[in-house]
Amino acid sequence: MSALAANDANAVVVLVVEDEIWVRLDVASCLEDAGYAVVEASTGEAAIALCNSATSIDMLITDINLGGSASGWDVADHFHSSRPDVRVVYTSEKSADPGRCVAGSVFVSKPYRHSDILDVCQRLTDGRSAPRPISRRAKNSTD
């Protein structure tokens, strides 16, 4: 169990995978302000490593077009096969290929508003979030 999940057993832990640092920091801050626990990854490879670890993750928000050898599609496929209960949100400036999306996932087109991401998170977690904001953020990125 991650330090974030141990900090509040009711917290929904969201992994944000985004190679653009300012977008990743903005989404992470928005989610934290709404009471979610956030783990960050700047590459698909780092996200897959987190999936293979004991880190508690309830939701994945991933950009489709990541630098490196693992795309957002690859990250979501890996999570879906090894952790099928993790909810998946894809983001991209381009439209998504519905045939590539894992079952039960949601696509949010960039640019998006904070309210768009928060609405999707609330819907996918049946309205669960942490009862209070969590100020610490695990950094699992190379930035």
Give the pLDDT confidence of 89-131 residue by residue, as tens digits: 999 988 767 678 888 899 999 999 999 999 999 999 886 654 3
Do the domain assignments include residue 133? no
Phi, psi angle pair for 132, to nearest 5°: -150, 155
Distance CA(139)–CA(132), nearest Å, equals 20
Q: Alpha carbon of 16 to those of 40, 41, 62, 76: distances in Å?
A: 5, 6, 6, 12
Do the domain assignments include residue 140? no
Do the domain assignments include residue 135? no
Range of the domain at 121: 3-126
Indicate the number of domains in the chain: 1
pTM over 0.85: no
Do the domain assignments include residue 43? yes
Q: Alpha carbon of 135 to those of 7, 27, 53, 88, 130: distances in Å?
A: 10, 14, 23, 23, 11
Do the domain assignments include residue 18? yes
Q: In this predicted model, what pLDDT tens digit does every residue of 8-29 receive, in sequence order? A: 667 899 999 999 999 999 999 9
Q: Count CB atoms within 10 A of the CB of residue 111.
A: 9
Token representation of residue 41: 């990854």
**Stronger pLDDT, 116 or 67, i.e. the higher one:** 116
What is the per-residue pLDDT for 129?
55
For residue 100, what is the domain's CATH number?
Answer: 3.40.50.2300
Whether the predicted pLDDT of 73 surpasses 80: yes
Do the domain assignments include residue 117? yes
Do the domain assignments include residue 136? no
Do the domain assignments include residue 143? no
